[in-house]
Amino acid sequence: MDTVLALNSGSSSVKFGLYATNDLSILARGLIDESANKAEFSAIGPMAQLLMQAPKPQSSGHADHIVWLTETLSNVLGAVSLKAVGHRIVHGGQDFSVPTRIDADVIEKLEALASFAPAHQPHNLAGVCLIARRRPDLPQIACFDTAFHRTIPRLGQLFPIPRVLTDSGLLRYGFHGLSYQHVAETLPELLDAMPKRVLAAHLGNGASICAMQDGRSVATSMGLTALDGLMMGTRSGSVDPGLVLHLIEQRGYSPADVNHLLNTHSGLLGVSELSSDVRVLEASSDPRAQEALELFAYRAAREAGSLIMALQGLDALVFTGGIGEHSVRMRALICDHLSFLGVKLDAGRNAACATLISADNSAIPVLIVAANEELPIARATRELALAS
């Protein structure tokens, strides 16, 4: 069976999806979670059990796990013939707005963008380089989180900074584009047609909102980097630039200190001083945990209001991502803030995490779409790598 592999190499995990090339049916989709003391392997799909039964690597880390995955696909799943690998690449900058076949020149350009996505880009590219060394014959395709947002009008891309900096590429790019692409491709199946004006909220450890018009991104909360916009698990989201200057000039913070503070010790973790995990905070009676959750919801709803202006109205609201899909309370908090729009949840549907969670008399349908960044990667990989 000819297959394509979709890889999403993060800072502490490797998500993967193995798809049959003829119809893109899922054979195995899973996660190698390296955040715990010992890596945890999980997968679903018809070949998942066979894959999970294969001997695991003795050492840990991205390299060993990606090698294990590709070699297991070749050695254990004997009926599988891997034809190409597609990768999630977080930042494509100005040069890359469509899926692209990877070569040395592409890698060099993507490495130059690593400073805009230091927690993601190096890990994305490490997987590319590892496979290139072990399987140089295997076509590899880069699929970009920023690409979906290249349809944003110029005014939505601009920062109010000197033009010379704008012209050098300092623009609002946006992220989570592969997730939003999946939402745009899925909604017509759920609602019989694509709503004209959609807000999609990808809420997880990283969080953002995207405004879509006719299935195309027209505005988004993240900017040049994935630090902008919503409050997140450990990231602050948008803060007053003067706060950064104050920390450096008055409190003696170095740029590295500020980077650490805003990226790894802010957000839900910083406000609660307990955890970045919504599940932990929801189970806590500590008032700091409750304030962190309420602030997360407030910031999300406030940003939603800004994006509704860009859309000039709203026809559907979609939740996706780990928090968006699983946190009953967070969805309710956010929708309560948006009740002035006529948004109403059905408590039973929301508690059951149904696909449609809005009440029958809600002015706007509210849905949950399970995140799936791997399927758009697999589709683009099949089309680009196997057609050439």
User: Among this protein's residues, is 103 annotated catalytic?
Assistant: no
Catalytic residue among 33, 64, 145, 257: 145
Is 210:203 a contact under the CB 8 Å cutoff? no
Secondary structure in 3-state letters for the chain: CEEEEEEEECCCEEEEEEEECCCCCEEEEEEEECCCCCCEEEEECCCHHHHHHCCCCCCCCHHHHHHHHHHHHHHCCCCCEEEEEEEEECCCCCCCCCCEECCHHHHHHHHCCHHHCCCCHHHHHHHHHHHHHHCCCCCEEEEECCHHHHHCCHHHHCCCCCHHHHHCCCCCCCCCHHHHHHHHHHHHHHHCCCCCEEEEEEECCCEEEEEEECCEEEEECCCCCCCCCCCCCCCCCCCCHHHHHHHHHCCCCCHHHHHHHHHHCCHHHHHHCCCCCHHHHHHCCCHHHHHHHHHHHHHHHHHHHHHHHHHCCCCEEEEEHHHHHHCHHHHHHHHHHCHHHCCCECHHHHHCCCCECECCCCCCCEEECCCCCHHHHHHHHHHHHCCC
- Residues labelled as active-site residues: 145
